[in-house]
């Protein structure tokens, strides 16, 4: 089976696993938010395998995968392994020893800080795929790309399991990072 056929089959299997295992939690982490819990999907061996392969769909030449804290760590490591490249954990503020590169940004329900090490890892000039579980408003993906750019890397795409289409994440990414940056979601809802 050709690589494209394998990826398309993985997309179908991943979407089935999401439909079967994902759960919605109302009013979490605060009233009015519907949290899409993908933990049961990732705990299913077939679901995890299919999602990891599906996330690699159309990502092009990648030197490094950046997984966003925290579920993006799980996905980023697995996607990096499949692509045979390294992985960088993009951490929440205060989790890394100094010195760090950091960026503050807005979430749909507050503000946050993301960090990566400023020493010990040279990502200058690397092509980086950003991986996370959910694309909501797009602020975290844009902040991650800004953070990686400060360290000299170039984001070549964003891959997520689920896009919450009604929250405008793609438009935020296009406005902040350009219309030509590929954004790949296994499923949109």
Catalytic residue among 46, 82, 108, 146: 108
Query: What are the CA-CA distances from residue 48 to residues 40, 68, 70, 163 (Å)?
Result: 10, 17, 16, 17
Catalytic residue among 71, 115, 163, 170: 71
Is residue 71 part of the annotated active site? The answer reads: yes
Helices (H) and strands (E) in the chain, counts: 6, 9
Is residue 108 part of the annotated active site? The answer reads: yes
Name, in order, each residue with C-beta under 8 angstroms of 180's C-beta and a sequence gap of 6 or more: none
Distance in angstroms (rounded) separating the CA atoms of residues 145 and 127: 11
Going by C-alpha positions, the residue among 164, 167, 154 that lies closest to residue 185 is 164
Give catalytic residue positions. Answer: 71, 108
């Amino acid at each position: 089976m050709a690589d494209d056929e394998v990826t398309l089959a993985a997309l179908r299997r991943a979407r089935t696993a999401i439909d079967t295992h994902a759960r919605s939690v109302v009013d979490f982490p605060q009233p009015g938010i519907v949290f899409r819990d993908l933990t049961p999907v990732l705990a299913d061996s077939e679901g995890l395998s299919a999602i990891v392969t599906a996330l690699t769909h159309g990502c092009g030449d990648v030197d490094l995968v950046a997984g966003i804290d925290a579920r993006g760590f799980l996905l980023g490591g697995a996607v990096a392994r499949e692509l045979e490249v390294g992985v960088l954990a993009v951490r929440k503020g205060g989790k890394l020893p100094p010195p760090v590169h950091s960026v503050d940004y807005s979430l749909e329900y507050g503000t946050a800080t993301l960090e990566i090490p400023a020493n010990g890892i040279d990502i200058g000039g690397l092509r980086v795929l950003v991986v996370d579980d959910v694309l909501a408003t797009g602020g975290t993906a844009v902040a991650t790309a800004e953070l990686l750019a400060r360290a000299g890397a170039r984001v070549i795409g964003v891959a997520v399991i689920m896009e919450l289409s009604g929250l405008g994440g793609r438009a935020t990414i296009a406005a902040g990072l350009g219309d030509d940056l590929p954004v790949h979601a296994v499923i949109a809802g």
